[in-house]
Amino acid sequence: MKRTAVVALLALAALAAVAVPSLAVLAGSDAIDANTFTTATLDAASGLGASASCNGLGTAKVSLSWTATPSGFADGYDVMRSLVNGGPYSEVAHVDGRTTTTYVNTGLLTNTTYYYVVVATAGGWTSADSNQASATTPAICLS
């Protein structure tokens, strides 16, 4: 008789184990739409170009321009510079505004090659680097 009671309890437990998860799935299915989210990618700027010129006696400047990121939620760009082709880069400026697509880096050494990339920003997010552009400052700046 004890054996029959144990078998009956095991059968009831097995039935409950099957029924409870089914109810949980049905109850949770209504919440799936409420938890739906979308993702967006912060696209990089493109078409970065650089040109160097004198910025006064003994100093030079590099003028940069690029095509804005197509990501409408971007809020600006970090301008990154290196003395080494391919980086590593250090931030030299932040430019506010998605549609602001120029920057002039002043007070630079003469006869030096600088390498630049720009990175689109949106709050705390950053895009991949733009293409790299380089410019070599004039050997002598007299004015």
Q: Which residues of 101-113 are buried (b: 16+ CB within 10 A; e: fewer)?
A: bebebeebebeee
Cβ-proximal residues to 38 (8 Å cutoff; 6+ apart), any chain: none
Residue 143: predicted pLDDT: 74
Residue 40: predicted pLDDT: 83
Alpha helix locations (H) across the chain? 2-29
Which of the following CATH numbers is that of domain 46-136: 1.10.357.10, 2.60.40.10, 2.30.30.30, 3.40.1350.10?
A: 2.60.40.10
3-state secondary structure of 5: helix
Domain ranges of the chain: 2-35, 46-136
Tokens 């549609």, located at residue: 99
Residue 35: predicted pLDDT: 65
Residue 136: predicted pLDDT: 98
Residues with pLDDT less than 70, the chain: 1-38
Residue 36: predicted pLDDT: 65
C-alpha span between 10 and 16 (Å, rounded)? 10
Cβ atoms within 10 Å, residue 34: 6
Residue 17: predicted pLDDT: 46
Closest residue by Cα to residue 69 from 40, 93, 99: 99
C-alpha span between 95 and 71 (Å, rounded)? 16
pTM for the full model? 0.73
Q: Return the ∠ at Cα 76 (arms to 112 and 43), rounded to 5°.
A: 95
Residue 39: predicted pLDDT: 76
Residue 102: predicted pLDDT: 98
Copy the structure tokens of residue 108. 């630079």
